[in-house]
Amino acid sequence: MSDNSLDQKMAAAQERLDAHVRESVEWHFNPETGCDYWLEKAKTLDFDPRKDIQCFEDVKKFPLFEDEDLRGGPLDKWVPKGLAGKPTYVFETGGTTGIPKSRVVIEDHWIDYENFSETLPDEHFPRGANWLMLGPSGPRRLRLAVEHLAQHRGGICFCVDLDPRWVVKLLKKGKTEEAKAYAAHVIDQAVTILRANHNVQCMFATPKLLEALALRLMDDGGSIEEAGIKGIFAGGTEFTPQWYRFCKEELLGENVFITPTYGNTLMGLACGKPFDIADEYKITYFAPQPRAVIEVVQFDDYNKVVDVGETGRVKLYTFTKELFIPGFMERDEGEREPAIELYPWHGISGTRPFHELLKTTTVGVY
Amino acid sequence: MLEIPVIRWGKEYQSMSKTDVVHFETGETLAQVNEANGGLIKMDMRKAKKAREVLRQFSIQELVDKCAAAAELFEHATLPLGNGEQTPEDFCMLQSATTGLPEHMCKFNMTKNAFVMKNMGSILDALTRGLPYEILSNGYGMEDRGVMVSYQANCDASGWVLPSNSPGVHTLWLPVIPLQIGLVLKPGKSEPWTPYRVYEAMAQAGIPREAFCLYPGAGDSGAELGGAVLECCERSVIFGGQATVEKYEGNPRISAHGPGFSKIILGDDVVDDWEKYLDLMVDSVYLNSGRSCISASGVWASRHTKEIADAMAQRLGPIAPLPMNDPHAGLAAFTMAGAAKAMNGQIDDGCDSGAVTEVTAKYRDGDRLVERERCDFLRPTVLHVSDPDDPMANTEFMFPFCSVVECPQDQMIKKIGYTLVGTCLTNDEAFKRQLLDATNIDRLNIGEVKTLQLNWLQPHEGNIIDFLYRARAFQNSPPPAH
């Protein structure tokens, strides 16, 4: 890879992003196509988005998006007029107590996961094979998204019942034994699916559940590989370099492929840099630009990115037809990573809970 | 840079995750420990049976002898540690630098650990009440008195989630190995030193490395590792605060060791001679920096309490922080940011009660809280509490702190609550009988014994033999006709 070539690719990616931002702003702030929320918000701004936002950098003129605005209804305010009348999903995040944050979705979860599908190697995620979704069920984007991914690749997705809100309640009450019993109940469901001759070869799993499933299979004299699984993608801040190594060397064995992902209901799905032993298990994510952007910003100035290699807080942007998020402070931090040929824009590594919020967060629900 | 590996049944493991162990005063990184992940521990614990098997290749007597040899190495040898070496002097200096305990106290704790290892035979003999070792090893056997007895190990390996701020607790897990049970240690974030040094000393003394796992770690990772140890080991011990004790209460697999609320009780028959016991009272509060569950946090008497509090305050109040390498340093540093300040605030709040008077203040040149750049100190504090029901009557902090509580003798046993070590000064036979019957007192001293003066031949917070082994019925022939 020459620096020249990468520079050119980065410049082209930046141009694409700027153009995409202009298109997105025009869509979301045009009274004919935008949603009530942003059209009303525009009246409170001291600039005209359609005139003054001409590139990604201009997006920083917006105040930070407050995800508290996502609590409660009516949800119609979030549906762009240009998409009115289309079948609409609502996905929730949080919600253990009080009103959860909601996001309306029409097709974004399909598009995000179809794009993600292109990054999955066919030899490890065979087309036509069936999938197991070992993650949260209920009003979650992930459950339908993984199911769509399976269908998009010609397979059927098997799911488990898993209510993460109940687990959070148990943990907050200190009922760790009950939480363990619930986790065992989830693993029981997964084992039953895997033993029912369903040709399941691909999986999504959270790190904790994958670990529990693999150990259960080992206790029973089997393994993930022997259960027929060839490829797994998993996500979250618990997917650490040490856990990655543990998976490859001990939990899964060398014949089962695993790849990390990072995302949330607002942004979609960031892909991991393809595994390279030279990286020493460092996990680097790249946002699905131009539909979403990840920045690593200074702790004391959320409009300034840190230098490559430096640590900062995760800032997310979403620019799809369905959602406009001009900068949202995620509850994570990490290190800014240089662009690569495959993803010619900056990435992030070492994602972990934001240190200032750590004391108030119940991490590792499922 | 000193780098300390994870130990997985004796094998060193370099993790992708490392955490610094830092000097509490300078912030200098003194070592890096490799951190495992929870799943790795769960994977290792699947092989715990092998640890017990490898230890059972030796008799308990042989392991006891090896412990004695290990004691010498622990106390006097230069031993490997990670990618470096450690002399006994290095050990004390490092332990002091990361835990905030003065160096001479670290040396004292080192000697204490060595003593327990040297005298393991006597300790096991006492804790098993003279049970022949072969009965534990074989699982059953006939005693000299002609009675068949059987003991079954409750676990192949025992887990210990150790504290950072109290290097004195290590004596408690030392008997695990000679009892032919694997040892799984999660060292506290600031105190990897003792577990690693004991491990190395025992290994060099001929105890198989395959019997040990050590999983150091800090912060959230440390909590995950501790959780995995507790989850996977059939018998585990954890050290923590009152919340930890309450969390695991009633769980037969986990023994939680928390605050001791240790006390000195003066009976009505001796209290008029209280001055005779002043040294005992002061030493019980002050020695080892008051940082122990066996340090006294209360003195209870029915009268003369104001005079007792004043006399103790005169001795303790002037004591101030000294450099860690000063042989007269009596106070340990608080290395966790905000901890000392929070305790100081709790004490101040408690002193708002009309029943509570701080007696030390007038003998102290300055505030109780001494704040430094990277650590804090709390200077000794004696309260007089005139109401035994006041919350400050039964409080414990990790520094020389004592409430002198005025309470009628006939209410004392009920009012003192849980008491790990109760030193009771009385010659009143009726009161002695009540004290002997009091189930809220764990270790009972009747007589002039400082609360810190433990006899290692006595069980501590439950008998480890009863925790690791269970007595059960065993017959290999029909019983006599009846």
pLDDT single digits (tens) B348-384: 999 999 999 999 999 999 999 999 999 999 999 999 9
Facing residue for A211 by CB, picked from B16, B39, B220: B39
User: Quick check: B444 and B436 in contact, CB under 8 A?
Assistant: yes
Compute the nearest-CA separation of B91 from chain A (Å).
Answer: 29
Q: For residue B124, give both structure tokens.
A: 């096991």
Facing residue for A250 by CB, picked from B16, B43, B247: B43
pLDDT of residue A363: 35
pLDDT of residue B230: 95
Q: How many residues does chain A have?
A: 366
B253 with B269, same domain: the answer is no
- Identify any residues that bridge with B282 across adjacent strands, giving them in sequence order: none
Best of B19, B37, B45, B220 to substitute, by most chain A Cβ atoms within 10 angstroms, is: B37
B274 with B186, same domain: the answer is no
Average of pLDDT values for B100-116?
94
C-alpha–C-alpha distance, residues B362 and B317, integer Å? 8
Facing residue for A251 by CB, picked from B16, B39, B247: B39
Give contacts of A245 with chain B, Cβ < 8 Å.
16
pLDDT band at A177 (very low <50, low <70, confident <90, very high): confident
Nearest CA among A211, A230, A225 for reference residue A134: A211
pLDDT, tens digit (0-9, with 9 covering 90-100), for B386-399 = 999 999 999 999 99
Which residues constitute the domain of residue B359?
262-446
B7 with B136, same domain: the answer is yes
Nearest CA among B259, B260, B262, B236 for reference residue B248: B236
Run of H or E residues at B404: strand B401-406
Do residue A246 and residue B247 have CB atoms under 8 angstroms apart? no
Q: For residue A167, give both structure tokens.
A: 């687990």
Compute the nearest-CA separation of B14 from chain A (Å).
Answer: 10
Nearest CA among A339, A361, A358, A236 for reference residue A10: A339
pLDDT of residue A365: 33
Nearest CA in chain A to B14: A242
Sign of CA dihedral B23, B24, B28, B32: positive
Cα atoms found within 13 Å of the Cα of residue A32, Cβ hemisphere only? 3
Radius of gyration in angstroms for the set of CA atoms belonging to chain B, rounded to a whole number: 23
Best of A178, A208, A213, A246 to substitute, by most chain B Cβ atoms within 10 angstroms, is: A246
Residue A320 has pLDDT above 60, yes or no: yes
User: Quick check: B216 and B35 in contact, CB under 8 A?
Assistant: yes
Q: Are strands B3-4 and B148-153 parallel, antiparallel or unpaired?
A: unpaired
pLDDT, tens digit (0-9, with 9 covering 90-100), for A109-156 = 999 999 999 999 999 999 999 999 999 999 989 999 999 999 999 999
B130 with B247, same domain: the answer is yes
User: Quick check: A269 and A116 in contact, CB under 8 A?
Assistant: yes
User: In 3-state terms, what secondary structure has residue B100?
Assistant: coil
Give contacts of B38 with chain A, Cβ < 8 Å.
211
C-alpha–C-alpha distance, residues A173 and A176, integer Å? 8
C-alpha–C-alpha distance, residues B175 and B330, integer Å? 30
B211 with B272, same domain: the answer is no
pLDDT band at B480 (very low <50, low <70, confident <90, very high): confident
Residue A357 has pLDDT above 90, yes or no: no
B300 with B383, same domain: the answer is yes
User: Quick check: A312 and A298 in contact, CB under 8 A?
Assistant: yes
pLDDT of residue A2: 61
Q: What are the φ/ψ torsions at residue B190 (nearest 5 degrees)? A: -105, 0
pLDDT, tens digit (0-9, with 9 covering 90-100), for B285-318 = 999 899 889 999 999 999 999 999 999 999 999 9
Do residue A211 and residue B36 have CB atoms under 8 angstroms apart? no
Nearest CA among A122, A70, A113, A125 for reference residue A93: A70
Residue A1 has pLDDT above 70, yes or no: no
B9 with B33, same domain: the answer is yes
The structure tokens 């996977």 sit at B232
C-alpha–C-alpha distance, residues A157 and A145, integer Å? 10
Q: What angle do CA A168, A172, A175 make, to 5 degrees?
A: 90
C-alpha–C-alpha distance, residues B316 and B310, integer Å? 10
Residue B165 has pLDDT above 80, yes or no: no
Domain-embedded: residue B329: yes
C-alpha–C-alpha distance, residues B80 and B87, integer Å? 9
Q: What is the CATH number of the domain that holds B275?
A: 3.40.309.10
Residue B61 has pLDDT above 80, yes or no: yes
B399 with B289, same domain: the answer is yes
Average of pLDDT values for A223-245?
94
User: Quick check: A288 and A303 in contact, CB under 8 A?
Assistant: no
Domain-embedded: residue B138: yes
Q: For residue B211, give both structure tokens.
A: 């019997």
Choosing from B224, B258, B292, the residue where a domain stops is B258
Compute the nearest-CA separation of B37 from chain A (Å).
Answer: 7
Do residue B37 and residue A174 have CB atoms under 8 angstroms apart? no
**Ranges of H-type helices in A124-224:** 141-152, 164-172, 176-194, 207-219
Nearest CA among A120, A85, A141 for reference residue A263: A141
Facing residue for B39 by CB, picked from A174, A246, A358: A246
pLDDT, tens digit (0-9, with 9 covering 90-100), for A247-279 = 999 999 899 999 999 988 888 899 999 999 999
The terminus-to-terminus CA distance of chain A in angstroms comes to 40
Q: What is the CATH number of the domain that holds B73?
A: 3.40.605.10
Domain-embedded: residue B163: yes
C-alpha–C-alpha distance, residues B29 and B2, integer Å? 9
Do residue B16 and residue A245 have CB atoms under 8 angstroms apart? yes
Compute the nearest-CA separation of A151 from chain B (Å).
Answer: 32
pLDDT of residue B105: 93
DSSP B305: H
**Greatest alpha-carbon span in chain A:** 66
Sign of CA dihedral B223, B226, B231, B232: positive
C-alpha–C-alpha distance, residues B469 and A272, integer Å? 49
Residue A359 has pLDDT above 70, yes or no: no
Give contacts of A180 with chain B, Cβ < 8 Å.
231
User: Quick check: B381 and B358 in contact, CB under 8 A?
Assistant: yes
B234 with B117, same domain: the answer is yes
Domain-embedded: residue B215: yes
Domain-embedded: residue B366: yes
DSSP A263-317: EETTTEEEEEPPP-GGGTT--EEE--TTTEEEEEEETTEEEEEPPTT-EEEEEEE
Domain-embedded: residue B461: no
Residue B195 has pLDDT above 70, yes or no: yes
Do residue A250 and residue B40 have CB atoms under 8 angstroms apart? yes
User: Quick check: B281 and B296 in contact, CB under 8 A?
Assistant: yes
- Whether residue B16 lies within 8 A of chain A, CB to CB, comes out as yes
Residue B194 has pLDDT above 90, yes or no: yes
pLDDT band at A358 (very low <50, low <70, confident <90, very high): low
The structure tokens 């105040």 sit at A63
Number of domains observed in the structure of chain B: 2
Choosing from B198, B232, B258, the residue where a domain stops is B258
Nearest CA in chain A to B44: A250
Do residue A240 and residue B46 have CB atoms under 8 angstroms apart? no
Residue A362 has pLDDT above 50, yes or no: no
Domain-embedded: residue B464: no
What's the CATH number for A107-265? 3.40.50.980
**C-alpha A362: how far from chain center:** 18
Contacts of B430 (CB under 8 A, 6+ apart): none
pLDDT, tens digit (0-9, with 9 covering 90-100), for B420-458 = 999 999 999 999 999 999 999 999 999 999 999 988 888
Domain-embedded: residue B452: no
Q: For residue A292, give both structure tokens.
A: 């979403």
Give contacts of B37 with chain A, Cβ < 8 Å.
240, 242-243, 246
Nearest CA among A192, A103, A102, A202 for reference residue A151: A202
Do residue A240 and residue B17 have CB atoms under 8 angstroms apart? yes
Do residue A241 and residue B16 have CB atoms under 8 angstroms apart? yes
Facing residue for B16 by CB, picked from A174, A219, A242: A242
C-alpha–C-alpha distance, residues A269 and A115, integer Å? 9
The structure tokens 């687990």 sit at A167
Best of B11, B18, B40, B225 to substitute, by most chain A Cβ atoms within 10 angstroms, is: B40
CA distances A19 to A111, A303, B87, B375, Å, are 19, 21, 66, 54
